[in-house]
Amino acid sequence: MKKGLLVVISGPSGVGKGTVREKFIDNPELNLAYSISMTSRERRKGERDGIDYFFVSRERFEEAIKNNELLEWTEFVGNYYGTPAENVESLRKLGKNVLLEIEVEGAIKVKEKCPDALTIFIIPPSMEELEKRIRGRRTEPEEIVQQRLGKANREMNMLSQYKYVVCNEDAELAAELISVIIKRHML
């Protein structure tokens, strides 16, 4: 059986990665499985443990690092985020295309370990629009918003690390473009 693809999607916080993903993740032609990350951040309203993330304590996360359970991990505005390695490998061996939605440092580490990873970066139509979207969530204090904006600016300078760049002006269109890219790489 042909091993599944490893698809890595990044983009600054607030760019709408989740909204775009929801529009293509269940497309049967793409044969995708979403890699659920582990995080030590607080659960936001509406987020489900084991579906959106595995929400764990900092201690549990540090244990996962020590035990080599993670394909990659990073610290992002004060919280840990990481990709559990086991599922990624087993799903790919079963022929599934595995989708990681991670920030740039993590994507670079994945590329080092899996040079054949298909990397896609989602950009906002403008930085003003991105700030509006981050503030629109109204779930985080100003200090965190500022940190997310700073990180977003740094991430936008890392586009050259990615094979494809897709603009999320219209989520439907962005999802279609990503679907085309994945299908082309499945050939």
Interacting residues with ligand 5GP (CB under 6 A): 13, 37, 41, 72, 74, 76, 81-83, 101-103, 106
Residue nearest to ligand 5GP (CB): 106
Instruction: Name residue, tokens 């559990």.
Output: 84
Residue among 29 and 90 whose Cβ is closer to ligand 5GP: 90
CB 130 within 8 A of CB 152: yes
Query: What is the C-alpha separation between 88 and 70, in angstroms, rounded?
Result: 10
User: If DSSP codes are grouped into helix, strand and coil, which group holds residue 16?
Assistant: coil
Beta carbon of residue 79, minimum distance to ligand 5GP (angstroms, whole number): 7
Residue among 41 and 186 whose Cβ is closer to ligand 5GP: 41
Beta carbon of residue 83, minimum distance to ligand 5GP (angstroms, whole number): 4
Residue among 18 and 95 whose Cβ is closer to ligand 5GP: 18
Contacts with 61 (C-beta within 8 Å, 6 or more apart), sequence order? 38, 39, 40, 73, 80, 82
Residue among 44 and 163 whose Cβ is closer to ligand 5GP: 44
Beta carbon of residue 101, minimum distance to ligand 5GP (angstroms, whole number): 5
Query: What is the C-alpha separation between 8 and 71, in angstroms, rounded?
Result: 13
Q: Which of 99, 96, 132, 77 is nearest to 3 (CA)?
A: 96
Q: What is the DSSP letter of 53?
A: B
Query: What is the C-alpha separation between 82 and 86, in angstroms, rounded?
Result: 12
Residue among 74 and 97 whose Cβ is closer to ligand 5GP: 74
Beta carbon of residue 37, minimum distance to ligand 5GP (angstroms, whole number): 3
Query: What is the C-alpha separation between 46 and 54, in angstroms, rounded?
Result: 14
Beta carbon of residue 109, minimum distance to ligand 5GP (angstroms, whole number): 8
Residue among 29 and 75 whose Cβ is closer to ligand 5GP: 75
User: If DSSP codes are grouped into helix, strand and coil, which group holds residue 41?
Assistant: coil
Beta carbon of residue 93, minimum distance to ligand 5GP (angstroms, whole number): 20
- Lookup: tokens for 169: 């002006």
